[in-house]
């Protein structure tokens, strides 16, 4: 081989077209991505836009965020809070989070050593899993599950292990799990369990007794609890939210994850956080630093204002969503759906068996294209799609007129299907 100016020269290289390169170089891709797809929820939003459908698929409000929070963000930007905040979170926000956890759950938090502000609870979860999991570990996940949990586990090198939540036989009943099935999941290589309460997509609120059972297993098998509590203030029918970190024996083995998105109707702001013991927090901060550096600085300042709102705000929040639930659920029942009444969050899971479609994907395609309402196929919340093949999820975090228009369109479903 001839060398000129320090560069090797030889036979000319033949350039291959891009499609051929992609076909020939599968080794360039991580094997991890073969185990999951793009978000089905966000795909349904794209289809809602394409077909002009009412979007009851993705869980974002179509009404304004509170005025005082938006004004706080504007003032922060005008006040030139536009550069990096401290990597693990602006002090004002961390102090506000610690204060609220003490007030609402009785949990004392050191905002300097136990708190990390992330780019939404989504990043908080994956940063946590990357910080604590090794190859070969298992992460226990209740299913149906929010679609990110499985891929997040795989990205972290762990293997998800699923425990079924079973739908109630009666509409007013509760989703339940088998304690023996749960116990068996803790054997072998369990490193962590993800608990989402109030739960997306089912609306289940885990009871204190259920959380105490999970606590006992975590202590017995030395397993970490990762709790997604993003819907903690959206509760109905007298249910109470319990943070598992508040239970005896769990403070030192729990990562509590939360964020602004759902409580303050700012899903696009991407401000979330983790609360964990100092050693775990230190590991999460390292991952977070190199993953995203930091959450938006002016929006963190606005977050401190949001978390200082009076108790009446949270009461009105829950009552507003209860009214929306009670507006949509009767319309769904009238249209022919069997509904599982949610106790928290702002989703309702439904059974579509009565419509006679082969599966949930065919039904939701018909629904968005022909009826003009977008929902999420239930199979996207299960490891085995067959388990959710006759379920569909609707989101009711919408204006009354949006829900009424959806109800009007769904009125033609019973006769048109």
Tens of pLDDT, residues 93-105: 999 999 999 999 9
pLDDT of 229 reads 98
pLDDT of 23 reads 52
> Is the pLDDT score of 258 beyond 50?
yes
Q: For the beta carbon of residue 40, count every other beta carbon within 10 angstroms.
A: 16
**Three-class SS state of 389:** coil
225/99 same-domain check: yes
212/96 same-domain check: yes
Mean pLDDT in residue range 224-235: 98
pLDDT of 8 reads 46
Q: For the beta carbon of residue 175, count every other beta carbon within 10 angstroms.
A: 21
In a domain, 25, yes or no: no
In a domain, 16, yes or no: no
In a domain, 256, yes or no: yes
120/267 same-domain check: yes
297/344 same-domain check: no
> Is the pLDDT score of 49 beyond 80?
yes
Mean pLDDT for the chain overall: 91
* Burial category of 99 from C-beta neighbours within 10 Å (exposed 0-12, middle 13-18, buried 19 and up): middle
Residue 18 banded pLDDT, cuts 50, 70, 90? very low
Give the end of a domain, one of 309, 344, 371. 309
319/304 same-domain check: no
**% of the chain exceeding 70 in pLDDT:** 92
CATH code: domain of residue 387: 3.90.1150.10
Dihedral in degrees, nearest 10, Cα atoms 327, 329, 333, 336: 110
Q: How far is CA 13 from the centre of its chain?
A: 48
**% of the chain exceeding 90 in pLDDT:** 83
142/289 same-domain check: yes
Mean pLDDT in residue range 10-25: 48
In a domain, 11, yes or no: no
370/247 same-domain check: no
> Is the pLDDT score of 3 beyond 80?
no
Q: What is 29-60 written as a DSSP string?
A: S-GGGGG--S-HHHHHHHHHHHHT-EE-SS--
Q: At what angle do helices 91-105 and 297-306 cross, to 10 degrees?
A: 30
Mean pLDDT in residue range 225-247: 97
For tokens 């903690």, the residue is 232
Mean pLDDT in residue range 362-373: 94
pLDDT of 2 reads 42
260/378 same-domain check: no
CATH code: domain of residue 97: 3.40.640.10
> Is the pLDDT score of 14 beyond 50?
no
280/343 same-domain check: no
Contact 386, 242 (CB under 8 A): no
Mean pLDDT in residue range 122-142: 97
Give the end of a domain, one of 248, 282, 309. 309
> Is the pLDDT score of 40 beyond 90?
no
> Is the pLDDT score of 16 beyond 70?
no
> Is the pLDDT score of 274 beyond 80?
yes
Q: For the beta carbon of residue 90, count every other beta carbon within 10 angstroms.
A: 25
pLDDT of 4 reads 44
> Is the pLDDT score of 416 beyond 50?
no
Phi and psi at residue 371, to the nearest 5°: -95, -30
> Is the pLDDT score of 13 beyond 60?
no
Mean pLDDT in residue range 373-392: 95
Mean pLDDT in residue range 192-211: 98
Which domain covers residue 51, as residue numbers? Answer: 33-65+312-416
Mean pLDDT in residue range 116-136: 97
In a domain, 259, yes or no: yes
Mean pLDDT in residue range 5-24: 47
* Of 278 and 31, the one with more pLDDT: 278
50/92 same-domain check: no
pLDDT of 10 reads 45
Split into its structural domains, the chain has a count of 2
Separation CA 265–CA 261 (nearest Å) = 6
158/185 same-domain check: yes
Separation CA 413–CA 92 (nearest Å) = 50
In a domain, 10, yes or no: no
In a domain, 206, yes or no: yes
As a whole number of Å, the CA-based R_g of the chain is 23
* Of 38 and 382, the one with more pLDDT: 382
Give the end of a domain, one of 309, 343, 373. 309
244/182 same-domain check: yes
């Amino acid at each position: 081989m001839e060398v000129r100016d320090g560069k090797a020269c030889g036979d000319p290289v033949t350039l291959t077209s891009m499609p051929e390169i992609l076909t020939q170089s599968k080794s360039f891709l991580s094997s991890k991505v073969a185990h999951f797809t793009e978000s089905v929820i966000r795909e349904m939003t794209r289809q809602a836009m394409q077909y002009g459908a009412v979007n009851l698929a993705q869980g974002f409000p179509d009404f304004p965020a509170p005025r005082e929070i938006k004004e706080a963000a504007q003032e922060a930007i005008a006040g030139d809070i536009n550069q990096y905040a401290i990597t693990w979170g602006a002090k004002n926000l961390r102090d506000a989070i610690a204060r609220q956890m003490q007030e609402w759950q009785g949990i004392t938090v050191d905002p300097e050593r136990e708190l990390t502000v992330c780019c939404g609870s989504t990043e908080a979860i994956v940063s946590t899993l990357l910080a604590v999991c090794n190859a070969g570990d298992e992460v226990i996940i209740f299913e149906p599950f929010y679609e990110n949990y499985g891929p997040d586990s795989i990205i972290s090198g762990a293997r998800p292990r699923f425990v079924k939540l079973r739908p109630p036989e009666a509409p007013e009943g509760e989703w339940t799990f088998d304690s023996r099935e749960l116990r068996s999941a803790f054997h072998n290589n369990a490193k962590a369990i993800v608990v989402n309460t109030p739960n997306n997509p089912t609306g289940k609120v885990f009871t204190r007794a259920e959380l105490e059972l999970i606590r006992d297993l975590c202590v017995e098998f030395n397993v970490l609890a990762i709790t997604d509590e993003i819907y903690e203030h959206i509760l109905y029918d007298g249910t109470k939210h319990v943070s598992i970190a508040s239970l005896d024996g769990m403070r030192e083995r729990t990562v509590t994850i939360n964020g602004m998105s759902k409580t303050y109707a700012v899903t696009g702001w991407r401000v979330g956080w983790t609360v964990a013991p100092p050693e775990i927090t230190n590991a999460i901060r390292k991952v977070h630093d190199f993953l995203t550096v930091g959450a938006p600085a002016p929006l963190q300042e606005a977050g401190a204002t949001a978390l200082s709102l009076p108790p009446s705000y949270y009461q009105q929040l829950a009552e507003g969503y209860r009214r929306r639930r009670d507006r949509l659920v009767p319309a769904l029942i009238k249209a022919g759906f069997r509904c599982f009444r949610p106790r928290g969050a702002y989703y309702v899971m439904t059974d579509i068996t009565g419509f006679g479609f082969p599966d949930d994907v065919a039904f939701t395609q018909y629904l968005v294209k022909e009826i003009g309402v977008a929902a999420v196929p239930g199979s996207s919340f299960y490891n085995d799609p067959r388990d959710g093949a006759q379920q569909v999820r609707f989101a009711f975090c919408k204006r009354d007129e949006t829900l009424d228009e959806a109800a009007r369109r769904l009125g033609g479903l019973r006769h048109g299907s």
